[in-house]
Amino acid sequence: MGNSGGKYKRVAFHTLGCKLNFSETSTISRNFKNNGFDVVEFNSEADIYVINTCSVTEQADKKCRQAITKIQNKNSNAFIAVVGCYAQLKPEEIAKNLGVDLVLGTQEKFNILEHLNNLEKKETPEIYSCEIEKVEQFDSSHSEADRTRSFLKVQDGCDYSCSYCTIPLARGKSRNKKISELVREA
């Protein structure tokens, strides 16, 4: 999906959580730029807001809900997409938030442009969240110029099932590229 209609041009991103999320947001942001969107700061007025979430703690979930409220107060007509770990683990909970239009799990977030066919505000949010434990695909990502240090994603998921950790539930089993491919990408 491109921005050929010109109706929606500005997109803003808000990233919560780990360096991996920052790397992935940077990649998603580049995809928007490459499709004709202007990327603006989160505090600016935008047509589309994308919140890349964390869900390690209840505090992380709360920060996502606060970001949604902030957007709603600033621009109630904006299209709001919530993506990432919180969206993977609790999509129905996110969908209850007033103003959310699209909820994408950790795997689906890289295909966000494919889900933006109709950017009209929705009564009921669209939810796309796969069974993450079956995912074998590794989506590369790296940050560029949007932070003082660049981050390269070398692994996604985890094979351990620690009782206190949500990473395997939110990101699936451990997967990565070959080391030679990662070195080339770096």
Domain of residue 81 covers 10-133
Into how many domains does the chain fold? 1
Q: Is residue 148 part of a domain?
A: no
Angle at 129 between CA 60 and CA 153, to 5 degrees: 65
Tell me how far the alpha carbon of residue 176 is from its chain's centroid: 19
Could you tell me the CATH number of the domain that includes residue 42? 3.40.50.12160
* CA-CA-CA-CA dihedral for 149, 176, 114, 51, to nearest 10: -40
Q: Is residue 75 part of a domain?
A: yes
Q: Return the pLDDT at 155.
A: 82
DSSP tag of 110: G
Q: Is residue 64 part of a domain?
A: yes
pLDDT averaged per 10 residues, the chain (length 186): 61 93 93 95 95 90 94 93 95 90 93 82 83 74 72 84 88 87 81
CA neighbor of 53 nearest in space, from 79, 28, 34 = 28
Q: Return the pLDDT at 2.
A: 52
Q: Is residue 49 part of a domain?
A: yes
pTM confidence score: 0.86
Q: Return the pLDDT at 62.
A: 92
Q: Is residue 173 part of a domain?
A: no
| Alpha helix positions (H), 35-178 | 58-74, 85-89, 91-95, 167-171
Q: Return the pLDDT at 63.
A: 93
